[in-house]
Amino acid sequence: MLASIMDRKWWIVDVEGKVLGRFATKIANILMGKNRPTYEPHKDEGDFVICVNIDKIKVTGGKENKKIYTRYSGWRGGLTQTLYAKEMELHPERIIFHAVHGMMPKNKLNAKRLKRLKVYTGPEHPHKTQKPVKLEV
């Protein structure tokens, strides 16, 4: 199906108190379109996902002080490592994107699919006109 003809649903997920990895797999499946009966791996048929309250997400096993996020700029000495707790204070949306990106296949459709993920720290979001359906994770 063409993307212009296909109807994409909008889902809203409240991640307050949820475990990061558990909900990231479910969101990745929706972005890929695995929840639809017409799923084919080579087609981009996924839906939109809105994540709210991401500043209240949980991790297990003491990962707040152990998990390290690494970025490399490509320049000499450009390696940046940040602990989970520090990243959560500064950029909580990066944690969600990183987790969902890790759950998705690494192919040409990956960037398109990740653009359909909308992440917000509070309970408010600007997508009320799309009438998102609440998703229980």
Q: Would you say residue 42 lies in a domain?
A: yes
Q: Would you say residue 99 lies in a domain?
A: yes
Report CA Rg, the chain. 16
CA atoms within 13 A on the CB side of 40: 5
pLDDT at 136: 85
Asked if the model's pLDDT at residue 6 lies above 70, the reply is yes
pLDDT at 2: 53
- Full-prediction pTM beyond 0.95? no
Q: Would you say residue 5 lies in a domain?
A: no
Query: b or e along 65-76 (b: 16 or more beta carbons within 10 Å of the residue's beta carbon)?
Result: eebeeeeeeeee
Q: pLDDT digits over 23-42, tens only?
A: 999 999 999 999 999 999 99
Q: Would you say residue 72 lies in a domain?
A: no
**Residues spanned by the domain of 40:** 10-58+91-127
Q: What is the total count of domains within the chain?
A: 1
pLDDT at 5: 60
Q: Would you say residue 31 lies in a domain?
A: yes
CA atoms within 13 A on the CB side of 102: 12
Q: Would you say residue 27 lies in a domain?
A: yes
Asked if the model's pLDDT at residue 3 lies above 70, the reply is no
Q: Would you say residue 135 lies in a domain?
A: no
